[in-house]
Chain A
Amino acid sequence: MFACLYVPDFSVQAVLRLEPSNTQEALRRSPVAVLDGPVTLPKVTALNEPARKFGIEVGMTKLQVESYGGVTLRKRSLDSEDVAQIGLVTCGNSFSPRVESTCLGTAILDLIGTEKLFGTSENIAQKIFATAAEQGFDLRVAVAANPDTAMYAARGFAGITIIPPHQEAERLASLNVQLLPAAPETLEILDGWGIQTFAELAALPEIPLTQRLGQSGLYLQKLAQGRIKRTLVSVDIFSTFVESYEFDDPVELLESLAFLLHRLIQQIAERLMSHSLATNELRLTLDLGVTQLRNGSKGEQYKREWKLPLPTQDKNMLFSVVRLDLEHTTLTAPVQKITIEAIPIKPRHVQADLFDPPTPEAEKLEITLARVRGIAGSTDNYGIGCVGSPRVVDSHKPDAFLIQPFLSESRTTEKRVLRPILAPRLFRPPLETSVEVSGGRPHVIRLWKSPCRVLAAFGPWCNSGNWWNSRTAWIREEWDVVVKTFGDVGYYRIYRDQITGAWFIEAAFNK
């Protein structure tokens, strides 16, 4: 058996699907028309049933439609239609691995072998109907013994239609021949013969029909009889989890952007879940509404990528990560179009170790880190991270470290020897100072603008590195000094940069 998922007024539904759920339902019941064409003269390309009853027709200009009053107008979005088609196929994929994306608004799935899992054809059709409704589709579903019969039944009858085997011709009988994929000339001939329905076409004798209309006429008759059997051309859309939306007018406020982002991320998360997949990488592209005055092209984009430490399907977590980042971003222009992509990977199945220390929840941690990054910043002026786990770099360069992403699942089993040591308190960047040298050793140091006498100086220890690169080379002469400060004694590490000749205080030992 085959099931056909057909979305009537697909262009309208694709646009309405991204509306807020409460207004979506109200818009379905009210007249909506989709406009397309040149900016100066947009025309109606699609409309819903209430709009048809209202008297609106395809091809009307925007001005004509506006004269009716009370009709909601939306701009056609090809991206939304593509995304809606992917959503439709994904919906089919949650019931069968073999799904054909027949055309925009139509998907056919092979139900052979799914009866044990989902029950009878009626049950499957009802489940498909309910799942599609959750994804924002007002669907027609038809189940039949061959794909084309299911497709014409879905296009011709509202709601759920089940056609048992060998009853195809009987059930399709009342449909109009205009539904068939016939050339306009063929339809004109059929109209001239007085053929209006599938039943009338099916009743014609085969040989005279072939003599007059050729093989295409015979093919149309077989379609009307429900006798065409073909194999499905199934599609694989596993690799793309992309949602996008183009605004009619550029959006400036984060609230409006966040609202739509939440909806797009929710749809991606639902699709990931339906495929038992998760994501650890999100890519956001914002097309900014900047028009280049010289050539009139729109080119500026804001791109951002988030790599999560762990794969997740949690839509709220994904949304929080994006939103927290956008809150601290200043865009140069209003946003015209949003595209968000999730890179799918297998979800994490890890059982916590009984003897591991309590850890911050992996999903919650990423939001916490995003909030912390929002306050402390992501990187310093040298491009080194401000939030993460430190890692000491194997280098002779003093204070050489890296910042790695902080993970709540570090599996370090290495036993380290613990020993309390005298840890220096670093000045980052080192404090520039002036030093009076006597007999080749520091004699007086200026600490916070006050001269302080050096009681003892240990050194010099010379080190250097990166001599092959003039920009990153360093040569320094280090001294550990004991300094008489105001009523106390201080222990400091100072050094002289032998390239510039300047003295710096690097660290304090007794702070």
Chain B
Amino acid sequence: MRATPLLRSELEALFPEAFKTHQPRRHDTISTGISEVDLATGGIPVSTLSEICGSGKTSVLTSLLAHASHEHYCALVDGKDSFDPASADAAGANLSRLLWVRCGKSKQKLPPLEQAFAIADILLHSGGFGLVAVDLGDFSDRLLNKIEPAIWFRFARAVEKQRTALVFIEEQHHARSCAGLVLNLKTKHSPLSSTLIMKLEFEAELIRTADKKLPSSVRPIFALRTEWA
């Protein structure tokens, strides 16, 4: 019996990896492409509902789509048709892997907000998309506050079973405890160039993280340059 620990220690010396137990990652993540945000959040978690709010959310979404579209098929449910494909192309997105749904553009019976939720539900359940982003950034808070908590809960439960990251883009966060990650952004006003808008600085605040621990008090600041800078 004494020989067993001895043998094990000898084998461990020769093959250090042999006796290590595999620790599965709790959440796979998708990089936003902004190193400061990735460092603070660990990336956008898969199988989780996330919210990106505040000013600068469109730029973060564009960068996220650019990164995600190289490894996944992505869907963007554009509530008010505010996505700029030219910017996504400039950010390096693979647009052929992006399904863009422009809500509220044709004479349909459903209002745009309900269209966005219904389409997000269909895409989420259809499977195969690595990222489903729902842009509700132009809807008023008054309208979004009327969304019943059960709907957010249903989305959170549905995405748990999928290998999909579900991201809502809003002016303010509304999903409360249903969201696994809530990122709030603010514009940091910095001196401007005399001839052009070259870059803007943003401050990211973590309201909620994927592992439900108290978010770090660190508020990363990152700068984004314009396409022409």
- A and B: real partners? yes
A393–B197 alpha-carbon span in the complex (Å): 25
Closest 10 pairs (CB-CB, A-B): A377-B106, A360-B128, A390-B85, A423-B62, A380-B105, A423-B87, A410-B96, A418-B92, A416-B92, A420-B63
CB contact under 8 A between A376 and B103, given known A418-B66, A421-B59: yes
Residues of A within 8 A of B227 (CB): 421-422
A426–B84 alpha-carbon span in the complex (Å): 6
- Interface size bracket, B side: 35 or more
- Is the CB of A234 closer than 8 A to any CB of chain B? no
Contact of A375 among B58, B110, B128, B137 (CB under 8 A): B110
- Is the CB of B213 closer than 8 A to any CB of chain A? no
| Cβ-defined contact, A420 with B58, below 8 A | no
In the assembled complex, the CB of B105 is this many whole angstroms from the nearest CB of chain A, namely 4
- Is the CB of A58 closer than 8 A to any CB of chain B? no
Identify the interface centre among B55, B93, B107: most chain A CB within 10 Å of its CB: B55
- Is the CB of A372 closer than 8 A to any CB of chain B? yes
**Residues 347 to 375 of chain A near chain B (Cβ within 8 Å):** 357-361, 364-365, 368-369, 371-372, 375
Q: Which residues of A line the B interface, CB within 8 A? A: 357-361, 364-365, 368-369, 371-372, 375-381, 386-392, 399, 401, 403-404, 406-408, 410, 412, 416-428, 456, 458, 480, 482, 488-489, 491, 507, 509-511
| Cβ-defined contact, A379 with B106, below 8 A | yes
- Is the CB of B71 closer than 8 A to any CB of chain A? yes
A392–B85 alpha-carbon span in the complex (Å): 6
**Residues 149 to 204 of chain B near chain A (Cβ within 8 Å):** 163, 187, 189, 192, 195-197, 199-200, 202
Residues of A within 8 A of B196 (CB): 458, 480
Q: Of all chain A residues, which has the CB nearest B98?
A: A389
Residues of B within 8 A of A361 (CB): 127-128
**Residues 107 to 142 of chain B near chain A (Cβ within 8 Å):** 107-108, 110, 115, 118-119, 122-123, 126-130, 137-138
| Cβ-defined contact, A375 with B118, below 8 A | yes
| Cβ-defined contact, A410 with B59, below 8 A | no
A419–B222 alpha-carbon span in the complex (Å): 13
| Cβ-defined contact, A406 with B128, below 8 A | no
A390–B98 alpha-carbon span in the complex (Å): 7
- Is the CB of B90 closer than 8 A to any CB of chain A? yes
- Is the CB of B212 closer than 8 A to any CB of chain A? no
CB contact under 8 A between A377 and B105, given known A389-B100, A426-B82: yes
| Cβ-defined contact, A365 with B126, below 8 A | yes
| Cβ-defined contact, A417 with B92, below 8 A | yes
CB contact under 8 A between A401 and B85, given known A358-B128, A375-B119, A421-B62: yes
Residues of B within 8 A of A359 (CB): 73, 128
- Is the CB of B94 closer than 8 A to any CB of chain A? yes
Provide a sorted-by-A list of 25 A–B residue pairs whose CB atoms are within 8 angstroms: A359-B128, A377-B106, A381-B105, A381-B106, A389-B98, A390-B95, A390-B98, A390-B100, A392-B86, A392-B95, A412-B94, A412-B96, A412-B97, A416-B66, A419-B91, A420-B59, A421-B63, A423-B62, A423-B84, A425-B82, A458-B197, A480-B197, A491-B187, A510-B187, A510-B202
| Cβ-defined contact, B55 with A511, below 8 A | yes
Residues of B within 8 A of A408 (CB): 73, 128
| Cβ-defined contact, A491 with B200, below 8 A | yes
